[in-house]
Chain A
Amino acid sequence: MTAMIEATNLCKTFKLGTVDVEVLKDIDLTINSGEFASIMGPSGSGKSTLLYLIGGLDKPTTGSIKIKGKELSVMKDKEESVMRRRDIGFVFQFYNLIPNLNVEENIMLPILLDGRKMKDYKDKLEEILEEVGLTERRHHTPRELSGGQQQRVAIARALINEPDIILADEPIGNLDSKTGTDVMKLLQRINIKKGKTIVQVTHSKEAAEYGTRTINVRDGRICE
């Protein structure tokens, strides 16, 4: 098993007014290829911060993060962006789709940002639309979709570039239980069938059960 994500001595401090708040304290974490890890913990424990640091959306105060063996802290904006579109797929609680783009365009966004042509990825798109069950809704805009459908678009977007890692922040936090179950099954299928490494942040024990590993974060520390 190869290490997909490696965090060493990871610390993150935020300034809250004049006070420094230590959100993550000396975190050491390794997530291997093909794992479906669920980070759990109470509100304010630092779980989402950990996910964003892994995804390169934020910088650690100290410590290091390696994605597929590459150190994030030495990466420039351009390299980091390339990593985000090629190696990582993000799924957010509030879906975060671009309202002006339709389903197809939203899914193809990472391809477009990578400077590649949409027409070269037609088959891939068909396959993913099939996978997430949105073939019929491909020309709709996000506001014409239900929450569950929007989340499936977000998952499809995270998959289009075939990244090795999928990071999901409360992926079912905004969905009803039935839709939530469908989404979790989809993620599980992706993990098993495609061998993708998935890291999700969740409050839900049920959601965590779809994963292969649970990481508990409390007061900025991991207590597995």
Chain B
Amino acid sequence: MNIIIKFLLKNIKEKKLRTALILFSITISAALFFASSATTDSMVKMYTDQIKKFYGESEIIIEAKDTAPSRYFNPTLPQEYKSHLQYSVGLFSGTGIYKYKRSGAKDENVSINLRGIDWKDQQIISKVTLASEFEVDPFQGKKIVISKKTADKYGLEIGKTLELMIEGTKYKFLISGIAQMTGPFTDDGRSHFAIVPMEILSSIYDQKGNVSTIYIKTLNSVEKQWIIKGLTASMKKQHVRETISQSDLQEQTGGVTVALSMALVLVLFMSVFIIYTSFKVITTERLPVIGTFRSIGATRKVTDFVLLGESVAYGVIGGLLGSGLGIGILYLIAKATTPTWDPGYKTSVQFTSAQLITSFLMAVILSLLSSLIPILKVSRIPVKEIVLNKIEKNQKGSKIWKPILGIIFLLAAFFVPPVAKGDPGILMDTVCTLLSIAAVILLLPYLVRGFVAVFERLYIYIFGNEGVLAVKNLRNNKNLLNNVSLLAIGISSLLMINTVTRSSVTEIINYFDTCMKYQMFFWVPEMDKSYEPILKAVDGIKGAKGFYSANGIEVKGTDKKIDSLESANKDFYMDYIDITLDGSKEATLKKLEQLENERSIIITGVVRNKLGVKEGDSITLKMPAGDRTYKIIAIWDSMMMGGNYAAIAEKYLKQDMQSKYYSYFAIKSDKNPEELLLFLKDKFARNLANGQTMKEIKDMVVESNSQIFNVMNAFSVITILIGVFGVLNNLIISFIERKRSLAVFRSVGMNKKQIVKMIFIESMTGGLIGGIVGVAAGLIMINIMKHMLTQVIATIPMNYSITMLTISATIGVIIMVTASISPAMKSSKLNIIESIKYE
């Protein structure tokens, strides 16, 4: 036994390149497995870190409801809960305007978000680090702590005064602290933030003793839901909720998680294939010696055990290396998905030791399971056949179940996704993607035969007899078939991910460029109809229309929410948005009239899929006025608000949501939107105006999607990269197995040039078939993804580019031809006698 182990260890050591190739495959698989499983956690951490800058460790937040008479309230909590809380901190929010005098230019009205809070309380919920301070303690009277960014930008100095206009009156504050850009002062790239004593701010607002928000941390987080329930019951006018809810996190990370899971499935599939083929190399190489060991008395158990031990060793080393590499990849993914439009987000990685251990174990199990089949196959070969090298003759003919199963899988991949709906639909679509890959592998030998028949006729004219021999060699060569499979999987993944991401970005751009016929959103607190004529009077504004909207409306009887519910009226939809319902403008008009006249709702395709409803059904929404039932009168396939969107008549939204004010104005303009928005912000600065141009939103959405798509594309490139290593492995094993055949070619008169030519034609043809099959499989997978995206986002028309299809097929050829350079050179230098007589 010891001799056998010694021999194998020596072999591993001697075959440095091979060992490196196997380890690379396992390492990459483990790394990607780790990175994709930890990415969701990292994104959650980034998201929660960003929120925690304001909330700190607080678990519960209490704010006045929209329907409450005032946004300020008494912070006294019911006595029975107080003993269950670690802290309960009240704060008072307000806004101040600082007039920044610029020499030679118009004064700038700078809006500063003010937080009134006791200094000690602020330090409890989220620590503030001061860069400089001046009599900050005691934090009483008209003192203010501003951010370093605000101080630097407007030349404000410690110990000086800062004049702010609050509620129409000017107040002078002493700048007693300049804070580092951490905690609540973390830069969000848009606004300015300052802290003042709570007492002074609430007095200015004439709300002494009241607060706008309460932050709570429980003593025992298990009691969180119980406390929320109790406080909700006793604080009728306030909204009590978790600072970070599971559904928020889900929404924030869901897209990436689904995308990464999909990519991971492809990578794992590829890895299994690679390790499997790697072990075919190992077992093939070791075969003569295994035969010798067995012939001198080693049992099958012993040789199996040693080979399995070798696979475990690769798994262990690959797992360890993969975990390290995984942390690096995780950081890169985190960096790529960190929102760049909001400096408040800092790239951070989050993973647990459990994830590291799982990835490590995955590497070991993956290596062990993938190597099991080749090892058991070798184990079943009789010693005599190994010793006499008659293994080639032992290959069994093709099995009929393979093409039948392949066709069934293919049909499933075609016909199941269009009918798969809802959450099970997404799972079925994922399964169908795997089935399409499995179908490729099962049907490939038969497809290759078809290709060979065509190429044979073609190549005689292009490459002569060597070309014909080359394609004939492809027929039953398992290793070349494996290569074609690897290429097909890699190329189809690349094509699918590339097409889907490109189509999604194009669709988003189309949505903003064609669907939205207005140029900006504009809002100030407590806007009503009176703003409409004022806005319309502004030079450059061609139209302004107020909207009511509500977010996160729960649908009764489900655990689903409609992210964005908006007020709709016929005029707005016809003038401001390019909407087509039921296929024509007339039908659209009719539906919008119906919407105005009854309690009805238009939902997007995403909401339909999410709720599993159809046109004509009714849904009940949980609204402040009570549960209200709406009839679905139309389904709109739109990316509006990311797809999770519904519209009801303005009067019903006002009534049922008890909305008093517009959420925003949609503004049409023929002026430069950026300039107009700046003008409006300045004009309505006292009213704390804000807004966003459509271009800003588009850029943000495109960028946020591009980041996810970049990660997806990186995965597809890695899939191809793993494929390349697999191809290299297979070409090496193919060379080892074909040494004798190649020597025979030489012995019957094939010269070195002809050998090289034949091998290159073989590789090129294999690459071409891999490319063509990959493109075909890619198109099937794109079709599946299209249906999947319809469930998750919206119906996105897929943009197929002939260039991309051609490039995909060409990638196959390039990979194969490049990878075959070394085997081709080795073949030409083959020792004919050694190879012929190696039995």
Interface assignment of A29: CB less than 8 Å from any CB of chain B? no
Interface residue ranges of A40-60 to B (CB < 8 Å): 48, 52, 55, 57-58
Inter-subunit contact A112/B751 (CB<8 Å) = no
- What separation, in Å, do the CA atoms of A78 and B389 have in the docked complex? 31
Inter-subunit contact A77/B751 (CB<8 Å) = yes
* Residues of A with C-beta under 8 A to B749: 81-86, 110, 113-114
Interface assignment of B203: CB less than 8 Å from any CB of chain A? no
Which of these binds chain B: A3-11, A96-104, A125-133, A208-216? A96-104
Also in contact, A90 and B747, with CB within 8 A (given A57-B832, A77-B752, A96-B836) = yes
* Residues of B with C-beta under 8 A to A196: none
Q: Give the secondary structure class of A's interface.
A: helix
Closest CB-CB distance, A121 to chain B, in whole Å?
A: 12
Pick from B389, B477, B740, B754: contact of A113, CB under 8 Å: B754
Closest CB-CB distance, B825 to chain A, in whole Å?
A: 14
Inter-subunit contact B747/A57 (CB<8 Å) = yes
Inter-subunit contact B833/A52 (CB<8 Å) = yes
Inter-subunit contact A115/B751 (CB<8 Å) = no
Interface assignment of B10: CB less than 8 Å from any CB of chain A? no
Inter-subunit contact B839/A84 (CB<8 Å) = no
* Residues of A with C-beta under 8 A to B392: 99, 143
Inter-subunit contact A84/B476 (CB<8 Å) = no
Inter-subunit contact A100/B747 (CB<8 Å) = no
* Residues of B with C-beta under 8 A to A110: 748-749
Interface residue ranges of A124-164 to B (CB < 8 Å): 141-143, 157
Interface assignment of B741: CB less than 8 Å from any CB of chain A? yes
User: In this complex, what residue of B is CB-closest to A79?
Assistant: B751
Inter-subunit contact B472/A100 (CB<8 Å) = yes
Q: What 1/0 mask marks residues of chain B from 721 to 744 whose CB sits below 8 Å from any chain A CB?
A: 000000000000000000011011
Also in contact, A112 and B469, with CB within 8 A (given A78-B753, A98-B745) = yes
Also in contact, A96 and B751, with CB within 8 A (given A52-B833, A57-B832, A112-B468) = no
A interface bracket (residues with beta carbon within 8 Å of B): 35 or more
Inter-subunit contact B833/A99 (CB<8 Å) = no
* Residues of B with C-beta under 8 A to A113: 465, 745, 748-750, 754
- What separation, in Å, do the CA atoms of A48 and B749 have in the docked complex? 19
Inter-subunit contact B839/A58 (CB<8 Å) = no
Interface assignment of A92: CB less than 8 Å from any CB of chain B? yes
Also in contact, A143 and B754, with CB within 8 A (given A82-B749, A100-B476) = no
Interface assignment of A105: CB less than 8 Å from any CB of chain B? yes
Closest CB-CB distance, A71 to chain B, in whole Å?
A: 18
* Residues of B with C-beta under 8 A to A109: 469, 745, 748
Chain B: how many interface residues by the 8 Å CB criterion?
32
Interface assignment of B395: CB less than 8 Å from any CB of chain A? yes
Inter-subunit contact B751/A78 (CB<8 Å) = yes
Inter-subunit contact B748/A100 (CB<8 Å) = no
Closest CB-CB distance, B394 to chain A, in whole Å?
A: 8
- What separation, in Å, do the CA atoms of A57 and B747 have in the docked complex? 7
* Residues of A with C-beta under 8 A to B751: 77-78, 80-82
Pick from A80, A92, A143: contact of B836, CB under 8 Å: A92
Inter-subunit contact B744/A96 (CB<8 Å) = yes
* Residues of B with C-beta under 8 A to A83: 749
Q: What 1/0 mask marks residues of chain B from 446 to 477 whose CB sits below 8 Å from any chain A CB?
A: 00000000000000000011001100110111
User: In this complex, what residue of A is CB-closest to B390?
Assistant: A94
* Residues of B with C-beta under 8 A to A85: 748-750
User: In this complex, what residue of B is CB-closest to A174?
Assistant: B388
* Residues of A with C-beta under 8 A to B753: 77-78
* Residues of A with C-beta under 8 A to B464: 115
- What separation, in Å, do the CA atoms of A116 and B464 have in the docked complex? 9
Pick from B465, B477, B741, B754: contact of A81, CB under 8 Å: B754
Inter-subunit contact A55/B747 (CB<8 Å) = yes
* Residues of B with C-beta under 8 A to A98: 473, 741, 744-745
Inter-subunit contact A99/B741 (CB<8 Å) = yes
- What separation, in Å, do the CA atoms of A100 and B471 have in the docked complex? 10
Interface assignment of B377: CB less than 8 Å from any CB of chain A? no
Interface residue ranges of B345-372 to A (CB < 8 Å): none
Interface assignment of B399: CB less than 8 Å from any CB of chain A? no
- What separation, in Å, do the CA atoms of A105 and B465 have in the docked complex? 11
Also in contact, A96 and B752, with CB within 8 A (given A101-B472, A105-B472, A115-B465) = no
Pick from A48, A101, A105, A143: contact of B395, CB under 8 Å: A143
- What separation, in Å, do the CA atoms of A174 and B833 have in the docked complex? 18
Closest CB-CB distance, B749 to chain A, in whole Å?
A: 2
User: In this complex, what residue of A is CB-closest to B754?
Assistant: A113
Interface residue ranges of B466-510 to A (CB < 8 Å): 468-469, 472-473, 475-477
Closest CB-CB distance, B757 to chain A, in whole Å?
A: 11
Inter-subunit contact A143/B748 (CB<8 Å) = no
Inter-subunit contact B747/A112 (CB<8 Å) = no
Interface residue ranges of B728-787 to A (CB < 8 Å): 740-741, 743-754
- What separation, in Å, do the CA atoms of A101 and B749 have in the docked complex? 16
- What separation, in Å, do the CA atoms of A52 and B395 have in the docked complex? 30
Inter-subunit contact B836/A112 (CB<8 Å) = no
* Residues of B with C-beta under 8 A to A143: 392-393, 395
Inter-subunit contact A100/B465 (CB<8 Å) = no
Closest CB-CB distance, B746 to chain A, in whole Å?
A: 8
Closest CB-CB distance, A38 to chain B, in whole Å?
A: 19
With a 10 A CB-CB cut-off, give which of A48, A92, A157 has the most chain B CB atoms.
A92
User: In this complex, what residue of B is CB-closest to A116?
Assistant: B465
With a 10 A CB-CB cut-off, give which of A48, A94, A142 has the most chain B CB atoms.
A94
- What separation, in Å, do the CA atoms of A77 and B832 have in the docked complex? 13
With a 10 A CB-CB cut-off, give which of B468, B741, B744, B832 has the most chain A CB atoms.
B744
Also in contact, A157 and B748, with CB within 8 A (given A58-B833, A81-B754) = yes
Inter-subunit contact B395/A90 (CB<8 Å) = no
- What separation, in Å, do the CA atoms of A147 and B743 have in the docked complex? 20
* Residues of A with C-beta under 8 A to B754: 81, 113
User: In this complex, what residue of B is CB-closest to A142?
Assistant: B393
- What separation, in Å, do the CA atoms of A143 and B750 have in the docked complex? 23
- What separation, in Å, do the CA atoms of A78 and B473 have in the docked complex? 22
Inter-subunit contact A112/B741 (CB<8 Å) = no
- What separation, in Å, do the CA atoms of A96 and B464 have in the docked complex? 24
Inter-subunit contact B839/A94 (CB<8 Å) = yes
Closest CB-CB distance, A122 to chain B, in whole Å?
A: 16
Q: Known contacts A82-B751, A98-B744, A113-B749; can you find 18 more A-B pairs with CB under 8 A?
A: A57-B836, A77-B753, A78-B753, A84-B747, A84-B748, A84-B749, A85-B749, A86-B749, A90-B748, A98-B473, A98-B745, A100-B476, A100-B477, A109-B745, A112-B468, A113-B750, A142-B393, A143-B392
Which 4 pairs between the two chains have the least Cβ-Cβ distance? A85-B749, A81-B751, A112-B465, A84-B749
Q: Would you mind naming 9 contact pairs between A and B with Cβ atoms under 8 Å apart?
A: A81-B754, A83-B749, A90-B747, A100-B741, A101-B472, A110-B749, A113-B754, A142-B393, A143-B392
